[in-house]
Amino acid sequence: MQTTSTLGAPALAAPPASRLRWLGPALGLLLALGALYLLTAVYVAGETLLAGAILATLAVAAWVYSSQRLYAYRYLFPGIAAVLIFVVFPILYTVSMSFSNASSRNLLSFERATQYFLDETYAGEGASLQFGLYAQGGGYLLRLQDDEAGAAFQAGPLPLDKPEPAKVKATPASGEAGSEPLPLKDVIRLQPALKALTLQMPDGRELRSTGLRSFGPVNHLYKQEAPGRLKNQQDGSLLTANMRTGFYEQADGTAVQPGFQVGIGLEHYRRIFTDEAFREPFLRIFGWTVAFAGLTVLFAASLGMLLAVLLTWEALRFRSVYQTLLFLPYAVPGFISILVFKGLFNNNFGEINLILDGLFGIKPAWFSDPLLAKAMLLIVNTWLGYPYMMVICMGLIKAIPADLYEASAVAGAGPLTNFFRITLPLVLKPLTPLLIAAFAFNFNNFVLISLLTNGRPDFLDTKIPAGTTDILVSYTYRMAFEDSGQNFGLAAAVSTVIFAMVALLSWINLRAARVTKEVN
């Protein structure tokens, strides 16, 4: 029955309450099905740890949103889940990887490495059969011609759009093919799917793709005799899995690729702190990392506070213009500013060296001299960091009661006395957490190091690639992705050590700030 509003226009009928009651459960069911599909896909891909984390998150979510007693936690759960998935889980995953031998040579799990060997094939005895590929409906018809037996076979229609392993039966062909075979360019396009195809002939033979236009008999190269033991069916040799090194090895100990991941305990941590070839650059890089982060915070905060004091001076004309100009370095994307400075500091053509050469007749080697390269990094990072500190200090100075400065003026105090007795103490307390956060950020400031110096110039006395301007995070990156071994496990161990150091330094700074506050 149609209802009428007070204005005379017909009003829409309200939806039945039963529909609204079932809308929530139906939406929840759809989300649950989608999440289960994602969980299954992750598990099938071999990411067991990630699948377990997703399953635990889904279970807790179902509990929170289905229990009336936990109604208040429904608003907190998304944030907590995001922290667990995007912060806690990566930390735990990195720590777990640090106890393995994961590298570019040991990337697969033991099961997948074993399956890789079992899938290897070699050409068997017997003649290859030529084939033609025909479009049929939504798939493709594969037609093979056995010239020796004067027979033809066919398989299909086959979905060859995706290269997925499949075994299909071939049957005797009846009559001639009704259309022209696909041209060679289409056969080449479908080669990945054809190579993943296994044809089972009526006599029991299995044929695999052996060329662009042929299928031939193939045999599996390895056969599993026992867990961790494979036999080569061509020459009878054996491969034995070494669970210490993460490789299948021949009888003489030669490792065969690909390797697999195995647990090695604290080996990476032992290497970090005891191996002289590793420890020496590590300690030097750690010292420079602390100095780089500390000096950057000191210079940027000092310059920012100085400019903030000047820009809050009421008698200064064109203050808004100066504020805008001085804030511009923060408005420009950081990576653009870094690349601009890389050109300005160019040894031969940079404007900075051209000016220094014209004034003093010198051309500093900014990128090849270790001390100058470090000075260049501090200059650029101070330029990138001072606008933020300036804006924060301006806001803090504005919050200081004007009565304090008026009383100081009555007492005859000057600007320096006002700064050190009023401004600095009142600004430094609320600024301390930001200084600690800036220190932690610059401790891991990978972008600046990577774009400006890439860690160079390198040390000449180290076996592991390391540079004089590397900080720990860039050193870890070079170890994981630029070293010939690409040792992900060792890089994860260094990342864990870095995380522990940053956490410890932050805790010490916070503790020191709390003690200072209590003393004051």
pLDDT band for 344, please (50, 70, 90 cuts): very high
Q: For residues 382 and 334, what is the distance between their CA atoms, to the nearest angstrom?
A: 12
How many Cβ atoms are within 10 Å of 194's Cβ, its own excluded?
20
- For residues 47 and 54, is the Cβ–Cβ distance under 8 A? no
* Alpha-carbon separation of residue 324 from 132, 232, 382 (angstroms): 71, 73, 18
Residue 299's pLDDT is: 95
Q: For residues 477 and 445, what is the distance between their CA atoms, to the nearest angstrom?
A: 12
Which of 14-28, 84-98, 405-419 is the least confident region? Answer: 14-28
More confident residue, 49 or 8: 49
Mean pLDDT across 482-508:
80
As beta bridge partners, residue 198 has 167, 208
- For residues 286 and 497, is the Cβ–Cβ distance under 8 A? no
Report the range out of 117-126, 144-153, 231-240 with the highest average pLDDT: 231-240
Residue 3's pLDDT is: 47
Percent pLDDT > 90 in the chain is: 20
Residue 177's pLDDT is: 63
Please say if the pLDDT value at position 520 is more than 60: no
Please say if the pLDDT value at position 16 is more than 60: no
Residue 515's pLDDT is: 57
Which of 261-270, 350-359, 499-508 is the least confident region? Answer: 499-508
Residue 1's pLDDT is: 45
Residues 6+ away with beta carbon under 8 Å from 488: 97, 102, 103, 104, 480
3-state SS, residue 40: helix
3-state SS, residue 366: coil
More confident residue, 434 or 463: 434
pLDDT band for 4, please (50, 70, 90 cuts): very low
pLDDT band for 6, please (50, 70, 90 cuts): very low
**What is the DSSP code (8-state) at residue 47?**
-
Q: What pLDDT, in 10s, does the model give residues 147-188? A: 777 778 888 788 777 777 778 888 888 766 667 788 888 888
pLDDT band for 483, please (50, 70, 90 cuts): low
Q: For residues 434 and 439, what is the distance between their CA atoms, to the nearest angstrom?
A: 9
Residue 155's pLDDT is: 82
pTM: 0.68
Mean pLDDT across 4-14:
48
Percent pLDDT > 70 in the chain is: 92
Residue 86's pLDDT is: 84
Q: What pLDDT, in 10s, does the model give residues 31-80? A: 878 888 888 888 887 677 778 878 888 888 888 888 888 888 888 888 88
3-state SS, residue 322: helix
- For residues 133 and 153, is the Cβ–Cβ distance under 8 A? no
